[in-house]
Amino acid sequence: MPKLLQLIPEYHARVWGGRRLPPGGASRTEAGSQPIGEAWLVYESNRVAAGEWAGRTLAELSAALGAELLGEAALRRTGTRFPLLIKLLDCADWLSIQVHPNDEQAIRRHGPGSFGKTEAWHILAADPGARLIAGVRPGATPGELASAIRTGAILDWVQYHSVRAGDTLYVPAGTVHALGPGLFLYEIQQTSDLTYRVFDWNRPASAGRALHIEESVMAANAALAGERRPAPRLGPNDTQRLVACDYFTLDLVAGAGEPSQAGTRGEGCHALTVIDGRVEVACGDECLALQPFETVLIPAAAGAYQLRPLGSFRLLRGSPAP
């Protein structure tokens, strides 16, 4: 089994997308002049770039390797489905105000094998004054929130948050939210793309951008608001836990000078995405150098690996919850 898996990103055009993607001007997978809003870095549809599994999807690897790739905890939680979706998002305009179902709601609405969508964002760049929406104003009742969704008055009820590079937000399923213009961010979430649109800023209701009013009423939780966590202070060789929840963990790792040791301990796969600088990842007899916004997936069974700074680096490490 390979110990370092590099996946081919998938780029998706979005009406709200900007010009930061693909990083370095790589070729796009969606033709035309539409702005690219999302880069899907790690998901079950991504294909392996090289090696004995080249061309195979992560879904195929998950089915074939099971706990060796995913870890036992993820296998219990999501079976052989790959448990995470990791993206980069480039927002030049407001995304729709939306909400995601939890696991129970997803199964009830979409059938067995469906999953909810709890997520977290790490802000990579933010224009001056950049804002996002996470949650509704304190004291709002479920009835008031349902009425606001049904009557199109949601803008009168949402909470706006100013953010800057380095901030992290945890957004549990049921949180009404939207990303604003001038944001470039990393997102980690459950293996689900279930999204209910509450309000789309009066854009035309074109194919693929319909509103989901009754689904949103079902899923929206008036008591939830995103938790904003300011950028942690990191030493030259340091790791800080940014998010830990029932579905995933997210760590910020910094390195400079001497190599550092890390490992999966067999608990779950590690997805490493460089956000600044360069680093060489070594595991067994395999080695891979990563540039900014490149990602490597390390299977749960790979065990110990080494991070060798090529100057200095910062990376985000996402993993299924142990």
Distance (Å, rounded) from C-alpha 272 to C-alpha 282?
12
The Cα 283–Cα 4 span in angstroms is 7
150: annotated active-site residue: no
CA 17 – CA 214 distance, rounded (Å): 27
DSSP state of 217: H
Give me the residue label for tokens 């945890």: 170
| Distance spanning both ends of the chain, measured CA to CA | 22
- Cα gap 164→73, rounded to integer Å: 34
Q: How many CB atoms lie within 10 A of CB 30?
A: 11
Nearest to 24 by CA among 80, 88, 94, 71: 88
The count of C-alpha atoms lying within 13 angstroms of the C-alpha of 254, restricted to the half-sphere facing its C-beta, is: 11
Q: What are phi and psi of 314, to 5 degrees?
A: -135, 140
Backbone angles phi, psi at 152, to 5 degrees: 75, 20
At CA 272, angle to CA 268 and CA 277, rounded to 5? 160
Catalytic hit among 77, 81, 197, 317: 197
Quick check: helix, strand or coil at residue 39? strand
Catalytic machinery residues = 197
